[in-house]
Structure 1
């Protein structure tokens, strides 16, 4: 199966992991510092705090912002559920803003939802495409809010040469197996704010600080969100190849852009001038006439070994959120969900693989006559 995204592990990665496994210290050691430094060196952020998942990093980020009961967080519904779940874990209320046609949160929709209880805006760089961070920063500054950028998809993305990870009060990356780089599971919080970084480090390790010798103190409620030296050794090795991975994904994405430029079946998401995407995902949007047949199209592609996926079911459509909140309807988000398919796009693909995807997708779509509305 040609999956929509996947990891790339080579002999250098295996060697790095093997060496870490053979060392005396396999957690809370120097490999964690090495990986965090690599993230800072690459993005330009001052501080990085490696954690065992992006979910943990999001939770720690909210807690570092002192998010608590009766506070409100505004985020997008077109994301993995953890973006909202971790705000709920702090006791906050989540409010969902609608999205733009490119899948990213709509700043105008965000501003309409702001109340005196709003504390944090959490955008998501969908598929690796950076959000309109200038517009969001203006809104945040106007209303005295924090921005926690869920950049889980976007390590390596940039705007006018400046890397994602440096635009918000704090940013979170994911190192899950299918992300731009992997530590198998893992994540990190990046920030230029020393206080936020210090709080995140405290939260990462049970809220405990070491005083002298064996004497330590727990000064706040924390968690075991640590990432092992073994995982960090893999991450540091992967960071050396990140730009190569993204260049390959970009090559595949550009082939798709050209192949689908005049498609009668679907549209692609345009990358603005000066913006670079990590291309964690390559989303296409089926025209409305094909929405009713999307499941059949999906199943036919899988039968041909093309592992497309759909990103994402709006978070508020999950049963848990339906039971939690009154009926929510965001037309752009719901239309995006109906239209979106993520095509295979990763560093192990060849142009021949991409041609195979295009040819088979077109052969399947031509059979469908369209829906009646």
Structure 2
């Protein structure tokens, strides 16, 4: 099975992890600080604070921003549930904004959703393609709101040669195994604001500050959301190959773009020339007549060893959200969910794999464009 995304581990990565295992500090050593510095050096951000997951990093960012009871964030429903879950965990409310045809938040719809309770706009860079940050920042500045980017798909993405992670108030990256680089599980918040960085460091470690010698003081609520040195060592090793990984993903995506040009049964998502996508996903959207047999298409592709996936079920359709907030509906998000398939695109693939995937995908779509549903 060729998965839609996967990690690439080499001997240097293994050696880096083993060296930590043989060291005196498995956690709270020097590796985390080194990894944080590498993230700053790569993105141009002033501060990076690593966490044990992107989920805890999101919660940390919301907390550092002062988001709490009865506050609201405006975000996308086309994301993993953690984006909005962590606001709810702090007794805030996610306000969903519909998306565009590329799966990214529709910045034209944001302003009418702003209320006196709105504290932040939380855009999601779907699949690694950057949202319209310039327009979103203009809206945030006008209404004195924060911009907190969910860039879990977008480490290495950039706009006009400016890397994601160095632009907004805070930016969250994920280092889950299927992301551009991995620490196994892990995440980070990047910011240019020293106060946010200090709050984030306290939040991830019990709200404690060290004074002198053994003396320390818990000054606010915090948790154990620290990244281990084992994980950080893997991340630090992987960072050395991040651009190589993205280059390979882009090579595969570029091949798909050329093969799929002019197709009538689905659309690809264009990346503007002034942007670079981390290419976490290669999403396509099926035409409406193929929505019905989509499950059959998905199954047929898996039977042929092609591990496509669907990203994402709109968050508000999950039972928890329906029970908490009632039924909601966003036309483009729901159409995107009905249409979307993510084809394999990652650094362990070669062009032969991409050719097999493209050939098989086009053949199966042609069959179902005639056959229709199986029920």
TM-score normalised to structure 1 length: 0.99
Counterpart position of 1:80: 80
Cα distance between partner residues in 1 of 2:265 and 2:108: 30
What's the secondary structure of 1:87's corresponding residue?
A: helix
Counterpart position of 1:319: 319
Counterpart position of 2:346: 346
Counterpart position of 2:330: 330
What's the secondary structure of 1:301's corresponding residue?
A: helix
1:362 is displaced (CA, Å) by: 1.1
Contact kept? 2:315, 2:321, Cα under 8 Å: yes
Counterpart position of 2:160: 160
Counterpart position of 1:70: 70
Cα distance between partner residues in 1 of 2:202 and 2:122: 22
Please give the per-residue CA displacement for 1:263-284, whole angstroms capped at 9, x wherever unaligned: 1211100001210000000001
Contact kept? 1:290, 1:370, Cα under 8 Å: no
Contact kept? 1:54, 1:152, Cα under 8 Å: yes
Give RMSD over aligned pairs: 0.9
What's the secondary structure of 2:292's corresponding residue?
A: helix
1:25 is displaced (CA, Å) by: 1.0
What's the secondary structure of 1:23's corresponding residue?
A: coil
- 1:186-265 aligned within 5 A: 186-265=186-265
Cα distance between partner residues in 2 of 1:347 and 1:32: 25
Please give the per-residue CA displacement for 1:193-251, whole angstroms capped at 9, x wherever unaligned: 00001000000100011112222110000011100011100000000000000000000
Cα distance between partner residues in 1 of 2:118 and 2:285: 32
Please give the per-residue CA displacement for 1:57-112, whole angstroms capped at 9, x wherever unaligned: 00000000000111101100000000000000111011100001111001122111
What's the secondary structure of 1:134's corresponding residue?
A: helix
Task: Tell me if 1:184 matches 2:184.
Answer: yes
Counterpart position of 2:137: 137
- 1:271-282 aligned within 5 A: 271-282=271-282
Please give the per-residue CA displacement for 1:253-305, whole angstroms capped at 9, x wherever unaligned: 00000111111211100001210000000001111110000000000000011
What's the secondary structure of 1:329's corresponding residue?
A: coil
Cα distance between partner residues in 1 of 2:272 and 2:326: 36
Counterpart position of 2:59: 59
Cα distance between partner residues in 2 of 1:111 and 1:28: 43
Cα distance between partner residues in 1 of 2:131 and 2:21: 39
Cα distance between partner residues in 2 of 1:353 and 1:236: 29
Task: Give the aligned length.
Answer: 372
Counterpart position of 1:90: 90
Counterpart position of 2:292: 292
Counterpart position of 1:40: 40
Please give the per-residue CA displacement for 1:123-157, whole angstroms capped at 9, x wherever unaligned: 10000001100010000000010011000000000
Please give the per-residue CA displacement for 1:182-202, whole angstroms capped at 9, x wherever unaligned: 000000000000000100000
Counterpart position of 2:120: 120
1:316 is displaced (CA, Å) by: 0.1
Contact kept? 1:266, 1:286, Cα under 8 Å: yes
Cα distance between partner residues in 1 of 2:112 and 2:7: 39
Task: Tell me if 1:2 matches 2:2.
Answer: yes
Structure 1 residues 328 and 370 mapped into 2: Cα distance closer, same or farther (>3 Å)? farther
Q: Point out 4+ residue stretches in structure 1 off by more than 2 angstroms.
A: 369-372
Contact kept? 2:317, 2:327, Cα under 8 Å: no
What's the secondary structure of 1:185's corresponding residue?
A: coil
Cα distance between partner residues in 2 of 1:108 and 1:65: 24
1:371 is displaced (CA, Å) by: 5.9
Structure 2: state its 5+ residue gaps: none
Cα distance between partner residues in 2 of 1:264 and 1:142: 42
